[in-house]
Structure 1
Amino acid sequence: MRRDRGTGMCWGLLAAWLVACGDSSGGETGSVMATTGESSTAGGATTSATTADDSEGTSSGATSTSSTPGPTTGAPPDNPFDDPPQCSSREYWEEEEDEGSPQMNPGEACITCHTTQDDAPTFLIAGTVYPTAHEPNDCFRSPPATDAEVVITDAMNQMFVLPVNQAGNFFLEDEDATLVLPFTAKVVLGDEERAMGTPQSVGDCNSCHTQAGANGAPGRILVP
């Protein structure tokens, strides 16, 4: 009986020792794993810090780029003389229907033509106003050209206001006025105006303001 009790006690002590060793080993293993985990976490923090540095570098680069603006370019203003050739009204004067009318031959050099005709009135000023810059001869005007007026001011400061008719034509007959050269000219539409840059001595406006432009004129006489 004593031997059995001793044997049982020995086995009990051995079991207790094994359990204690197992717990200690498990604790140490857990500690190692925890340490490994901390190391991994620290590595993650290091990686995160590096990423933050990279992000700051990228942000800094972006800031540097945005702080150096490129050249500022704006769209150039529209030039009405860049418009393509066109008959904006799509209506043409027909000689056989309207011979001798004030609406005849819009766009053509009125004074040059009238000096060749014995019975034609003579003009001091004559021309045609168009809504676009390269309208062909004999093309009728279209609004707003017919709502405009041509204002002529001569060297004596006399002012002549010439209405624009349904063809776009305007004129000043020599029997109606005495014009002292040179004169200035402008087209007025409401509160807007388009003025010639230099005084003129030739009243045959369409001789220069042709479809393509001649003698320095860029094209037709335009509304503002």
Structure 2
Amino acid sequence: MIKVAPSILSADYVNLQKDIEKVDQAGAEYLHIDVMDGTFVPNISYGPGFVKAIRPITKMTLDVHLMVEHPEHLLPLFIDAGADVIGVQVEATQHIHRALQIIKNGGAKAEVVINPGTPVAMIEPVLHMVDQVLVMTVNPGFGGQKFLPETVDKIAQLNAIKQKKGYDFDIEVDGGVNDKTVIDCYKAGATVAVAGSFVFDAADPAAQVKALKNATK
């Protein structure tokens, strides 16, 4: 059964604590927080203060995805804010190894992220040091996009490397995930599913979390 990471990019900002409590009580393991700088992606979202404000209201794993240029400059701030997992886009830094080291040295779990157009080979040199790999299944920056089926092959490639080398990282997918698309991702080796609009645009977010889990039993 897949672990579920509701993305608060699609939550109700005015009633954010209520939305977080709904998915927490439904059994979601992670809370996915997309940090966007308006440069690496066109959109702008939250900063470390937002993560710090959420930390006291939930025991869910705070899964912070940095879609920002030069992420290494911001990593200490998000570590101090209480992020449990911090994801860095391989395309956003010339120093991916150093960025992952900073995260791990700060006591958080390190995640490397690849866009749909980025091959798995780009991150193979750092797979030995990560706790999680995030495969973007849409182009990053906006919620509500349609799942890109060609990204399933990348999940399978990552899983094959993981098995062959004896690595222990989680494989997370993000973008267009629903109770149908999650099945192929899970079969290919995904262990964590980010879902935004599928969960929070529904009348009953808790039921949507359970639907993702039931689809991957």
Judge same fold: TM > 0.5, yes or no. no
Report which structure shows greater RCO (CA 8 Å, sep ≥6).
2
Between Structure 1 and Structure 2, the one with more helix by share is 2
The TM-score with structure 1 as length reference comes to: 0.22
Rg larger for: 1
The TM-score with structure 2 as length reference comes to: 0.22
